[in-house]
Amino acid sequence: MAGNGERRHDAMPAMEIIHQGVTISFHYCRSRRRSLGMTVRRDKSVWVRVPLATPLDEIRAFVGRKADWIQMVWQRLESCLPQSGQSFQSGAIFPYQGREYLLRVERGAGEAVSLRGHELVVCSSQGDDHGQLAGVIDAWYRGRAVELFGERARECHRRMEAEAFPLPPIVIRSMKSRWGSYSYRTGRICLNLNLIKAPLPCLDYVIIHELCHIRVPNHGPHFWKLVSRYAPDHAELRRQLRQCGAL
């Protein structure tokens, strides 16, 4: 709400920053106010209100300083939203490496998952018990992630051998608001389990992004210059990550 004589001007198109591997899109609106303000709406969109003459770099820096708070608000909003309710009936869609597979449930003596053509075939001793199916599929995703993420990390590290740093240990976790992170304290790279659902080039980009943080801790010009050296199409890959629906 505009108050105290504040006059709003049209909002600008969405922009974005990258904070610790997380893309934060935001709109900003110039108005006759004295300080910068921010609102995170229920749809998780970020709106910044700024004085008329505020430089764009200052707006970006303001969003960067608020990035941790924004992600905290996002997590609170997510906790208040109803769960998406993934179906585990035959015919439900499950993504894997950027492709969509139709679930087919078969009853059997044990639990197993396999890809057959365009189908994700799950053999379960409990038939269509959704709890067991969810556990079996999650275990399959995690097993594939351990194998694939390690393989791609070694390949991305090989591409970056000119940087002459060792390959950090890779940790896989379920994360709500990050695709990946690099910890200077532990020296480890953490990758989001849901990257197993994204196209392979997107996975490689996230790994390269985090490897670049070994050299440059922030997201300044030097960082993006380094990223561009090893992932020149990183802007398109970030767009794909936003659209793939893995988070």
Q: How far apart are CA 120 and CA 93, in angstroms?
A: 9
- Nearest alpha carbon to residue 204 among 154, 139, 246: 154
Q: Are residues 27 and 123 in the same domain?
A: no
Domain span at 63: 8-80
CA distances, 179 to each of 163, 214, 230 (Å)? 23, 17, 18
Q: Are residues 66 and 98 in the same domain?
A: no
**CATH at 171:** 3.30.2010.10
Q: Are residues 133 and 200 in the same domain?
A: yes
Q: Are residues 224 and 121 in the same domain?
A: yes
pLDDT in tens, the chain (247 residues): 333 334 444 456 678 888 877 788 898 888 888 888 888 876 778 889 899 889 999 999 999 999 988 888 777 666 544 445 678 888 888 999 989 999 998 887 778 899 999 999 998 776 666 777 888 898 899 999 999 999 999 999 999 999 999 999 999 988 877 899 998 889 999 999 999 999 999 999 999 999 999 999 888 899 999 999 999 999 999 888 877 654 4
Q: Are residues 164 and 71 in the same domain?
A: no
Q: Are residues 17 and 62 in the same domain?
A: yes
Contact 24, 243 (CB under 8 A): no
To the question of pTM greater than 0.75 for the whole model, the response is no
3 occurs within a structural domain = no
Q: Are residues 142 and 204 in the same domain?
A: yes
87 occurs within a structural domain = no
Q: Are residues 218 and 151 in the same domain?
A: yes
Q: Are residues 71 and 107 in the same domain?
A: no
Q: Compute, in degrees rounded to 10, the torsion defined by CA atoms 83, 76, 186, 163.
A: 80
Contact 188, 170 (CB under 8 A): yes
Q: How far apart are CA 137 and CA 243, in angstroms?
A: 23
What is the number of domains present in the chain? 2
